Structure 1
């Protein structure tokens, strides 16, 4: 607990127009310190900011049964151009494919099986076996997709976060828009009951590198959660020492006026723009990341819910603004324009 000395109040007023740090964490801390300085109160402990990370791979991995086809039957697949794909998959390198290449193989295999089933060069008995394999592949395609998202190194890096997302010239969400559109196309393909009527979705390996290098979703999740905790801390600071701000007739309103300056120059001009930026980044990503939480709805113990984090963030923002509205009302000042919630 840090005690704010009374003598520092004058210094605070002199520095009221000073610049904030560009680091969101320091920005929130500076905001809280300015408030505590005016309150001449102890500084409530800063929130503990936790990493956003997925459970271990072994906790998430879904087991999928293997499908096999006899060697003689496999050779028949040359007639419908599927033998080469299967042979490559069964090679030494093919057996150690990562999750991205394995998932793309499953899509290509499904496409090839559909093609072979319509070929008049494939014997009826073999078609029966191929149909059985195809049914199994369709049945477990959601599991392959689940494993890709939650156990591949690239997507685990994308969904994990330990750093603040910061405003740049262009939206961070735009950096991974194309990969997410590809993932949504796959999700749509999986969800429809008439897959044969849809064109095969895009292969995802092409987007592996950008998802690995451009961490957006995880940093946004971290920033939403961290901002929520900081807002709760600063709101607690305001509420706990609210009685240190006197208001009313024949009362010294200096501290209230200092807080008004903090509200206008710090919250409205510095903090709220960052909160609005986070909200806009979430809105840009939310429509493109529905597949992330949707796949985990059946795994309650391992939920990764960006929407829930955003809701908690909004509630903390609302509670914080409500304090300011109450303070202005108590002190007889008109808060004509409250920051949008």
Structure 2
């Protein structure tokens, strides 16, 4: 409960601060423009990063089991009837992804235990051999379907969908606990994804009972969608500022014979008071959270099958080597921005040091 309460509090704090991030970037652009005496536009518009594929494209087909009445009744030997009845109830037929996952993670170890029990009992009761063969088929079916079930339960859920929505808000300016808050939620899904390998320890009953709590925490988080918008805004800002600096240098040298002057002092002040104290910390926060966010999803997805459209989508979001991807543009804009400041300072015989 304390984790859920902390997420609620964090959400309230972020709501008050998220809009300030875009204002800071606008102010940074304006201050650089004034210092250079060069117009630099700040009209980022809507986030142009790709939309998450529709749910129907993200869902992987999972063939269900169909038991005959006699076969189902025979499973009473393994105390599986309550679980089967739960799945076939009216509520069981419309389970949410979190509930489906919870059910499957309860059913598979139960039917595996049934297989082990029947394997021992068939030695003295040969009449149970057909039932053992059927249970073995069920175990094999469930094990093979588990990676698809896990994928569907995580990435076709509403809770995960909203992490990749086109949020109008960026990350807040100050969110020192951002990674820890996300870790408290995503680590559970990383653990679940590892179950698809069939060699990971099965979670205990307490973990299974808390699964829906992790989904609720994920639903209340906004950091994923905010990070996407922050990367877009930062990329746009750095491109605009870099182009403004380059245009100003091409138009007229700022310093004569690389000697500092009054304008270079103004530029230094903007760099020191705005870039170093406001822009750079926000850039670092966004980059650090992005590295964790990207690594966490890679840890989840490496054990799971991905539908083609989802694989293409995550390349466009997370792969910095893919031309035109969100992170490719971000890294390229950061290099352009850094190089522009270095060139600007060198024209006045100054050095930006290690701040960049």
Query: Which TM-score band applies after superposition, normalised by the shorter structure?
Result: 0.7 to 0.9
- SS of corresponding position for 2:256: coil
Matched, 1:132 2:137: yes
Residue 246 of structure 1 corresponds to 254
Give the Cα–Cα distance (whole angstroms) in 1 for the partners of residues 139 and 242 of structure 2.
57
Shift of residue 251, structure 1, vs aligned partner:
7.5
Question: Residues 40-61 of structure 1: CA distance to partner in whole angstroms, max 9, x if unpaired?
Answer: 3333352334176422212212
- SS of corresponding position for 1:289: helix
275-284 or 245-254: which moved more? 245-254
Residue 70 of structure 2 corresponds to 72
Contact kept, 8 Å, 2:185 with 2:218, in 1: the verdict is yes
Residue 290 of structure 1 corresponds to 298
Alignment CA distance shift 1:159-1:293 (3 Å): farther
Residue 306 of structure 1 corresponds to 318
Alignment CA distance shift 1:221-1:191 (3 Å): farther
- SS of corresponding position for 1:338: coil
Q: Where is the helix percentage greater, Structure 1 or Structure 2?
A: 2
Residue 280 of structure 1 corresponds to 288
Residue 230 of structure 1 corresponds to 237
Shift of residue 117, structure 1, vs aligned partner:
0.3
Task: Specify which of 27, 52, 72 is matched with residue 30 of structure 1.
Answer: 27
- SS of corresponding position for 2:44: coil
- SS of corresponding position for 2:154: helix
Contact kept, 8 Å, 1:165 with 1:219, in 2: the verdict is yes
Give the Cα–Cα distance (whole angstroms) in 2 for the partners of residues 63 and 22 of structure 1.
41
- Relative CO higher for 1 or 2, CA cutoff 8 Å, sep ≥ 6? 2
Contact kept, 8 Å, 1:245 with 1:256, in 2: the verdict is no
Alignment CA distance shift 1:103-1:31 (3 Å): same
Give the Cα–Cα distance (whole angstroms) in 2 for the partners of residues 70 and 242 of structure 1.
80
Shift of residue 102, structure 1, vs aligned partner:
0.9
307-316 or 72-81: which moved more? 307-316
Give the Cα–Cα distance (whole angstroms) in 2 for the partners of residues 23 and 64 of structure 1.
45
RMSD of aligned residue pairs (Cα, Å): 2.7
Shift of residue 134, structure 1, vs aligned partner:
2.1
TM-score (structure 2 length as normaliser) = 0.79
Residue 337 of structure 2 corresponds to 320
Give the Cα–Cα distance (whole angstroms) in 2 for the partners of residues 233 and 281 of structure 1.
23
Question: Residues 92-139 of structure 1: CA distance to partner in whole angstroms, max 9, x if unpaired?
Answer: 111011111112212222111101101135722122122222222222
Matched, 1:338 2:334: no
Aligned positions, number: 316
Task: Specify which of 55, 58, 66 is matched with residue 57 of structure 1.
Answer: 55
Structure 1: gaps spanning 5 or more residues:
1-20
Matched, 1:173 2:179: yes
Give the Cα–Cα distance (whole angstroms) in 2 for the partners of residues 56 and 182 of structure 1.
25
Contact kept, 8 Å, 1:160 with 1:218, in 2: the verdict is yes
